[in-house]
Amino acid sequence: MKKDLIKFLKELRAYGVKNNIPNVTEEVGRFLNMLIRIKNSKMILEIGCANGYSTLWMAEAAKAVGARVHTIDFSRPSLAQAKDNVAIAGFSDTVEFYLDDALRLIPKMDRKLLFDFVFVDGEKASYLDF
């Protein structure tokens, strides 16, 4: 992983802590990255992206294995911030963003999108529904 990306991720994580953004820990981010690489996942779904911290961990691995990340968030401000952070880090070509409620969107998604890696990090009360 490039040093400039690691630096950006550390800054983004610190920003999240300071602003009460529910990001995963760095350890979880590294774990997600490693799992995607080991599994050689090609279609990744993330439910809940907040400011894009976990999205970036997955996008870095996705780019390395020729995959795409599809991320869903119902919050317009969160999704906009995630899009900006993904663009700054240089992964816009690897991530597809959806502004919607995942429970509403997923049943409507193209059935050709067969996800082989799913990270559920959305509204905790809806985990079983996801």
**Are the beta carbons of 86 and 11 closer than 8 angstroms?**
no
pLDDT tens digits along 99-119: 999 999 998 988 777 899 999
pLDDT tens digits along 43-72: 999 999 999 999 999 999 999 999 999 999
Pairing of strands 68-73, 95-99: parallel
d(CA 7, CA 111): 37
53-65 vs 3-18: helix axis angle to the nearest 10? 160
| H helix or E strand, kind and range, residue 118 | strand 117-120
Cβ of 37: how many Cβ atoms within 10 Å? Answer: 15
- Is pTM, for the whole model, over 0.75? yes
